[in-house]
Structure 1
């Protein structure tokens, strides 16, 4: 009887425990393991609350003609397997889109890459803790769409932090001059 009472007490205590939100900041350096070869798993787990997520997608940073693109979609592993995060790299960036978002109340991204302009925001009427960031450099655009974030975290700060982690590699490579473009060679210096 005592064993049964202890078992019931432990199971009741487990059900009444509140799930603790991990509010630790996203890493400031991208380190393995990576999802889609470029997205740090640790950052994704913190901002979505999903451990061992399902992942689909890849980024092609070697496509000829400066049309680098790709996407990485992260899903919940259990239940309905809902999409929680989408990272998208496209060759159709527009600074005008950023300016419109800023006029509509989005916050400007700090300078992450020279020559890039960006914005980020958290949806004000959302129940899924979603937040978005967009960074444009030349024709390349990198967007982060956190569709289901962790309640109790600063979801807008999370998309900003993830952009800082991934944009230097994804957006810089995608918007860099083509490898076929000749660059002037440095002039010799006299000593």
Structure 2
């Protein structure tokens, strides 16, 4: 998908949400299209992708059909898009997908398979203990697990720097990019009455 196609998809979700057609929380992506397009060039369709509640771009770039994704969002599943067929898992629990990604990577290694796991986390989840424990385990046991840190310097609506005082050093063997989010933590920035 192109940057324009990704943005067009999110604009459709934004408009339908503001018109009351989507009657559940949405977490929209924006301003990180180019970074994700580059990263997904490295991700095989046989690889697993684990991500967070802000997952629409990840799902589209990993091959989930835009109409299938749209219907899942319409059904209230914006934050929990999951597909065994596409090897895609998202969770609305902060850091919730990280240990599951680790277990999947361990399974791949034990089975001698050649695919890998990609785990997308926000900068706040990166600061959590679960990230550091899973990162250390995956590196010590040479698991096929790639981490991607998406840094918008926000924990919900609090700057990550304010929440932690200082940020941890980014390991040099993870993918990392910084961006300014286009939309607020959830919703579109407009109050919607259903």
User: What is the TM-score normalised by the length of structure 1?
Assistant: 0.31
> Which is helix-richer, 1 or 2?
2
Bigger Rg, structure 1 or 2 = 1
> Which is strand-richer, 1 or 2?
1
User: What is the TM-score normalised by the length of structure 2?
Assistant: 0.31
